[in-house]
């Protein structure tokens, strides 16, 4: 499924969490989603690497 197809079919009020390895690329994707009307799009701060290394 590509990005444009996702944009047209997804529920724009559903929570979407964007992540990449370090959290840089996901910021751009999250911003693009928000610009297209996604009201609950979030980028995982620090990416997968930070999540993997988090305490707890």
Q: What is the mean pLDDT of each run of 10 residues along the chain (56 residues)?
A: 85 96 95 96 95 84
3-state secondary structure of 43: strand
Burial bucket for residue 46 (CB in 10 Å: 0-12, 13-18, 19+) = middle
* Structure confidence at residue 22 (pLDDT): 96
pTM of the predicted model over 0.95:
no
Asked about 18 being catalytic, the answer comes back as no
41: β partners: 16
Q: Active site residue: 7, 20, 27, 44, which one?
A: 20
| CB-CB contact of 6 with 38 (8 Å) | no
């Amino acid at each position: 499924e590509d990005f444009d197809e996702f944009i047209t079919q997804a529920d724009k009020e559903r929570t979407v969490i964007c992540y990449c390895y370090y959290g840089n690329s996901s910021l751009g994707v999250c911003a693009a989603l928000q610009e297209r009307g996604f009201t609950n799009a979030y980028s995982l701060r620090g990416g997968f690497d930070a999540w993997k290394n988090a305490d707890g």
